[in-house]
Structure 1
Amino acid sequence: MNYQEQDTYGMYKHRTDSGPGPGLMGANTLDGNDVFNLHDEDLGDIKEIMLDMSNGRVAYAVLSHGGFLGMGDKLFAVPWSALKLDTVNKRFVLDVDKDRLESAPGFDKDQWPDMADAAWSKEIHDYYGVTPYSDGRL
């Protein structure tokens, strides 16, 4: 369910700054949201939002790509900073070609990587061309 469809209590008020969407959102409202690239190609959908519990920041969105009805899909940890919210189309945009995503470091639903590993984090951020936030560990 999208955050705009869940707003029964008016908690998702519009921002006063120029950012897209509300200032705060429930993480569960983002699960299942579509992800497209700049060429309007469907890249998959968000399966999980990964929080860095040491500082309360969103670290990654886990993107599911490929497969059929959840079978045979590959998962990718996409740095949160690499995603942009498209409020008009109610989806996220990731600036990566479909072929590049298919070559990205991914994982199987039964074998997740150690997302707290600094070397793994650097590899993922470098792949998507974004700078990791600094919390003193990276």
Structure 2
Amino acid sequence: MKVHGRNYEVDNVTGHNHAGPAANTPVRRLTATSIIGDSVENTKGDHLGQINNLMINIMSGRIEYVVLEFGAFLGLGGKLFAIPFGELHLNADKECFVLDRDRASFADMPGFDKMHWPATNDHSYFNDVNNYWGPVIQP
């Protein structure tokens, strides 16, 4: 299929990125699987955790929250936190996301246990999240 001067069949067969090594620069779109598992750091470069999942508003089609796993060691322990997606900023050079919070701030954030997720359509947990962060602002 040829679209706008690109031949996607050739790309698919060869597996080569014919647009060059910086084809995805600046980054505007990522797959969910490329975001899940990404590290999250604060502005000082301290590791805060990793993205465990995404919460997508099916009405708007936008990611509202990332589920951040904080405090886990070798996949054990830790707690999950719904962080508004707009609070994260991509650091493409380091291939991670940045959250402007320190590790101590997680003590006051509403979080939940991995084995006991809140009802995702129940507003009580997300009201607590929005009270902490402020209303979700969509980019």
Give TM-score scaled by structure 1 length: 0.76
Query: What is the CA RMSD across the aligned residues, in angstroms?
Result: 2.3
- Alpha carbons 1:64, 1:75 under 8 Å: kept: yes
TM alignment of 1:1-138, pairs within 5 A: 13-15=24-26, 21=27, 23-128=28-133, 130-133=134-137
**2-side partners of 1:51 and 1:94: how far apart?**
19
Cα distance, 1:62–1:10 mapped onto 2, change above 3 Å: farther
Cα deviation 1:104-136 (Å, max 9, x = unaligned): 1111111111233334323213323x43248xx
Q: Which runs of 5+ in 1 are unaligned?
A: 1-6, 16-20
How many residues are matched?
121
- Structure with a larger share of its residues in strand: 2
Q: Which runs of 5+ in 2 are unaligned?
A: 1-14
Cα distance, 1:102–1:8 mapped onto 2, change above 3 Å: farther
- Describe the SS at the equivalent of 1:73: strand
- Alpha carbons 1:35, 1:46 under 8 Å: kept: yes
**1-side partners of 2:70 and 2:119: how far apart?**
20
Larger-gyration structure (1/2): 2
Name the aligned partner's letter for residue 13 of structure 1.
N
- Describe the SS at the equivalent of 1:93: strand
Percent identical pairs in the alignment equals 32
